[in-house]
Structure 1
Amino acid sequence: MPEQNDLDARASEHWLVERRVRVYPRLFLAMFILAAPLYALTFEGGLDGRGRPPGTDFIAFWSAGRFALDGHAADAWDLDLIGAFQLSMFPGLSGPTQWAYPPTTLPLVIPFGALPHLTAYVTWVVVGLGLFLGVLSTLLRNRQYSWPIALAFPGLWLGIPSGQIQFFVAALLGAALILLPRRPVLAGILIGLLVIKPQLGVLLPVALLAGREWRAFAAAASTSVVAFIVSTGAFGMTALESWWSSLGVLGEAIDDGTAPIYKFVTPYMGLRLVGLQEVPALVLHTVVALPVALVVWRLWRRPADPMVRNSATVIGTFLVTPYAADYDLAVLAFPIAWMAIMGQRHGWLRGDRNLLVATWLLPAITGPIALITHVTMTPFLMALLLRQLWVRGSRKADAEHVDQIAAGGT
């Protein structure tokens, strides 16, 4: 347990008192609920005031599903072809949305491609959000005020209009980490299914190897390989080659300024936002990523609280992967919940609650701040959170070592 000088000794004087914890999330939730019909009023002819359909990014998922159903999966990565299809569906569309996910994601989107666009979008959000909240609910049971805080989380509301894949990814990642101590094989299978968005699983092999989770690692590796073989067999090597080639289009969009870089939240993209070229930005990103991976490795090697290790793995992901956007921050609901539980059980470290409030608000504010200032604040906040987890994990390991010595261990 943390020593007293690491704890917030003025707990009763902290500004985040019970009344505010109870009221503030409900105010945010009411604001989001009231904003939804106002946004709906901007639609005309199936497009909003900016010329975008419901689920601004979902149109790419739906289009890719349609292409795969028609036997032309490889064409989904051709911006001209998919753009022409999207314009045929929505003649007033302001511009096409590129499909940039690997072929292993196509099995997920194909069923939605079989539905009319609006029905597919609503079903996509309902299913994804249901899975996300279902997994999150395992951490919220019997916890006072937890559901209003979860339902008002800006990461949830940011993801609904975008129609992105983040709810499915967050559900897989959260469920895998929760199940790992009890059901390592099932956890490994869920980790393997993260091939639908592999860059958000980049730290999981580090964690599994450091934690000696051999069964989970084997299950994850096997699932990933099977998913790759099945998708390649179903859609052909041409689809794999088309996806790989399409990655250059994103790089070109970053270089020429047409990509919305301000929406990305990693050190690499933050460096690109301030004007650094690709190579120096990648070098500096690596300088950040390697120590973060080492911290996660060390925490998983120690007898740290699983909630410390899980939280560090999720938070560290945004410092290690080069590509993650603001909608991907929905997965932060899990480390927010774990860190809140640890604070309530073992006492708050100094600064914990302020950082958790900032993290809770982060999905709503990081994009606008980056757009105005050209500064991506997410890496700085993730680094501070990781520091808190390192302190808490170190204290936990030291305490258990003292208990071992007292019991005659080594």
Structure 2
Amino acid sequence: MDARSFFRDAHWLTGQRVRGYALLLGLASLALLANSFVKAMGVEGTDFLAFWGAGNVIVQGDPASAYDLAVQQRIQTGTGSEGWFAFVNPPPFLFAVAPFGALPFPVAWLVWVAITYALWAWAGIRAFPKLWPLVLVYPGALIAAGHAQTGLLTGALLVLAAHAFTHRHVWSGAAIGALVIKPHLAVLAPFWFAASGRWSAFIAAGATAVGLVLLSWAVFGAQTLLAYTTSWEASAALMEGVNRDFLLRMTTFYSQTRLLAGDTAAAIAGGLSFSLALAATVLSARRFREDPSAIAATALAATALASPYLFNYDLPFLIYPTLWLVDRGLRDGFRPYEKLALVALWFAPYATRAAALPLGINLMPLAALVLLWLVWSRAAADHAGTRSAR
């Protein structure tokens, strides 16, 4: 085997070796997760404090205090942490965090990670049952687990929506509607469903979102919904100024351009990124109408480019477009250099996060752009082959 073939065809990257590498990564990740837990219990704190603190006041019968900064500071620092975090998620998310407020903080952290990871893994394996080792140790999911953030839960909903889009449109829409807990991750969904003519999914998404808001109003009260509006100030404060470390943890063209070139250039970059994501989603829905999984893979790949506000821990949903490419490659054959490109994209959430501080830039937006291009080009080739076979 010559050097060119080694990289171009990567025949050495067999299924057996991939499973072996996945096992090694999984074992290493257990150690990293244990380290994350130890740090989360330390004085610096962890994002999960916001979820636990919100759940704690619900248990005490005062859900509106989930958004009270003074109350949250007192409750969260009561764990021994010097750091504390504002709870800024919409009221329907309180349904998810409420049970954890009744648990001791260390136990709640472990149970949250275990349950949300299990939900995400179930959705990923349901979509790609033969590729389950790659699902279980996907770096994007492992990062989310270490942060004990929302990425595994939202990732499960997006992957479920993509997988159900092929046959169960109502379920697909309901999963998207549940993303009212983090709505900027669902910004492309109305266009995705409408352009595809999947009106049952469109209606189910809207009904689920509205239903969850109304249910949270009924259960937690109007005062809690009004209190949520005060959290917008906390969210805005996070985006004020140029905090280098904060922006480097983000994975968008907006954030990286703002870091390097300021607000005006960032707004332009963010607008162009969203426009590209929207165009890819709508055009794929029209062009690949007979291949709903290709439309779903395009929509999820484009989601990583749609919002200006996205972090490394938000990326578990990228398992769907990544493994969609792997699945198509196993079925139809891999294109030149595609195997190595997919290895790089699979590791991208880890690699770009690790390199961000040393390089002074997070390269994940470029990886997301490459992923979208690979999905589009593979879907277009499949579409052309189908048409020529007729």
TM-score (norm 1): 0.85
Letter in 2 for 1:101: N
- TM-superposed deviation, 1:379: 1.2
Distance 1:86 1:215 in 2: 42
Letter in 2 for 1:67: V
Any idea what SS the aligned residue of 1:260 has?
Answer: helix
Residues 355, 381 of structure 1: 8 Å contact kept: no
List gaps (5 residues or longer) in structure 2: none
Equivalent of residue 325 in structure 1, options 288, 311, 327: 311
1:70 and 2:57 are equivalent in the alignment: no
1:84 and 2:70 are equivalent in the alignment: no
Letter in 2 for 1:327: Y
Which range moves more in the overlay, 362-371 or 237-246?
A: 237-246
1:114 and 2:102 are equivalent in the alignment: yes
Distance 1:122 1:215, change over 3 A: same
Name the counterpart of 1:3.
Answer: none
- TM-superposed deviation, 1:250: 3.0
Equivalent of residue 212 in structure 1, options 194, 197, 201: 197
- TM-superposed deviation, 1:233: 3.2
Structure number having the greater helix percentage = 2
Letter in 2 for 1:86: Q
- TM-superposed deviation, 1:177: 1.6
Distance 2:31 2:59 in 1: 38
- TM-superposed deviation, 1:35: 4.1
Name the counterpart of 1:125.
Answer: 113
Residues 189, 223 of structure 1: 8 Å contact kept: yes
Q: Give 1:4-403 correspondences, 5 Å limit.
A: 12-14=9-11, 16-18=13-15, 20-37=17-34, 47-48=41-42, 51-53=43-45, 56-90=46-80, 93-141=81-129, 143=130, 146-257=131-242, 260-277=246-263, 279-302=264-287, 303=289, 305-403=291-389
Letter in 1 for 2:53: S
Letter in 1 for 2:41: L
Distance 2:60 2:36 in 1: 33
Residues 200, 317 of structure 1: 8 Å contact kept: yes
Identity of aligned residues (%): 28
Distance 1:223 1:139, change over 3 A: closer
Deviations 1:358-391 (A, max 9, x none): 2211221222322222212111111111112222
- TM-superposed deviation, 1:304: 5.2
Letter in 2 for 1:193: A
Distance 2:385 2:9 in 1: 26
Distance 1:52 1:271 in 2: 29
Residues 69, 110 of structure 1: 8 Å contact kept: yes
Distance 1:107 1:313 in 2: 28
Distance 1:103 1:384, change over 3 A: same
Deviations 1:223-258 (A, max 9, x none): 111111222333344433433332332332333455
Residues 29, 148 of structure 1: 8 Å contact kept: no
Distance 2:58 2:147 in 1: 22
- TM-superposed deviation, 1:38: 5.7
Distance 1:397 1:334 in 2: 19
Distance 1:137 1:20 in 2: 20
- TM-superposed deviation, 1:316: 0.7
Residues 305, 396 of structure 1: 8 Å contact kept: no
Distance 1:227 1:37, change over 3 A: closer
Distance 1:377 1:266 in 2: 9
TM-score (norm 2): 0.90
Aligned residues between the structures? 384
- TM-superposed deviation, 1:166: 1.5
- TM-superposed deviation, 1:18: 4.7
Distance 2:247 2:127 in 1: 33
